[in-house]
């Protein structure tokens, strides 16, 4: 238990430049507190209990602003930054070295039973306000842009932006080939805008058509 807490704190120091001291991280980081509560709740949940782990989860939500269902499966190295409004559903699965910002939802769609929440791979960054919904898979090293709504599977080494989420290959570079220390890319503000690019493309086409029309009218004169 002590080793896991130290590992969680080390992750915070690695990914949050605002972290100054061990006591600050231990006392003032709700993401860390939510993880500790969840581990306790998840242990009771696996024993077949229902009410007690849910009570732990609800208390954690009251204290931290982060709601993690006791049934969610979370790997090592999860960092929830700020965390207010984060919701992680019952059948969600989160891999290793995942970073989640405030307002993120890993939710279900409809009232279906069984696996109904996302499966998130390793080294994934999910930016502020993103909604990842349904029994879908987010591949390793993927990046979900702020405010995106993701309803379909996301392949590894890709970036998703927009509503609904659109997949954009990041510079054609396979992140899995990058050095392990730099594999977690936290620059979630540096994202392409496929809608703006499409509008610019249309503007260029309209400009070319206008020039051709002008040339034809000049020829008639």
Q: How many CB atoms lie within 10 A of CB 115?
A: 14
Whether 199 and 177 map to the same domain: the answer is no
CB 128 within 8 A of CB 109: no
Q: At what angle do helices 30-46 and 51-64 cross, to 10 degrees?
A: 180
Given this model, what pLDDT does residue 18 score?
Answer: 85
∠ CA 111-115-120, rounded to 5°: 120
Q: Is residue 220 pLDDT above 80, yes or no?
A: no
Interval 23-34 mean pLDDT = 89
Task: Band the pLDDT of 94: cuts 50, 70, 90.
Answer: very high
Domain total in the chain: 2
pTM of the shown model: 0.71
Percent of the chain residues past pLDDT 70, beyond the cut:
86
181's CB contacts (< 8 A; 6+ apart) are none
Given this model, what pLDDT does residue 11 score?
Answer: 86
Whether 176 and 81 map to the same domain: the answer is yes
Report the CATH number that the domain containing residue 119 is assigned in CATH.
2.160.10.10
Which tokens hold the place of 221? 């004169």
Interval 24-48 mean pLDDT = 90
Whether 114 and 205 map to the same domain: the answer is no
Interval 186-201 mean pLDDT = 61
Whether 128 and 185 map to the same domain: the answer is yes
Condensed to tens digits (0 to 9), the pLDDT of residues 38-89 reads: 999 999 999 988 899 999 999 999 999 999 999 999 988 898 988 889 999 8
Whether 115 and 205 map to the same domain: the answer is no
Host domain of residue 93: 2-190
Condensed to tens digits (0 to 9), the pLDDT of residues 167-188 reads: 775 655 543 344 444 444 545 5
In sequence order, what are the beta bridge partners of 120? 94, 138
């Amino acid at each position: 238990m002590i080793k896991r807490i130290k590992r969680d704190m080390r992750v915070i120091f690695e990914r949050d430049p605002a972290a100054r001291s061990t006591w600050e991280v231990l006392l003032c980081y709700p993401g860390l507190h939510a993880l500790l509560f969840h581990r306790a709740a998840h242990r009771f949940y696996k024993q077949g209990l229902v009410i007690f782990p849910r009570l732990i989860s609800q208390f954690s939500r009251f204290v931290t602003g982060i709601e993690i269902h006791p049934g969610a499966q979370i790997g090592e190295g999860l960092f929830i930054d700020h965390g207010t409004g984060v919701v992680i559903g019952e059948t969600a699965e989160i891999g290793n070295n995942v970073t989640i910002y405030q307002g993120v939802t890993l939710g279900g769609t409809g009232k279906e039973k069984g696996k109904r929440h996302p499966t998130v791979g390793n080294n994934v960054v999910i930016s502020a306000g993103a909604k990842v919904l349904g029994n879908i898979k987010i591949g390793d090293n993927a990046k979900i842009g702020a405010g995106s709504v993701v309803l379909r599977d996301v392949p590894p080494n890709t970036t998703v932006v927009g509503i609904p989420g659109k997949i954009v290959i990041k510079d054609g570079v396979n992140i899995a080939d990058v050095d392990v220390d730099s594999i977690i890319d936290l620059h979630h503000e540096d994202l392409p805008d496929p809608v703006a690019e499409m509008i610019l493309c249309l503007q260029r086409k309209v400009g070319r058509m206008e020039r051709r029309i002008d040339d034809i009218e000049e020829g008639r004169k």
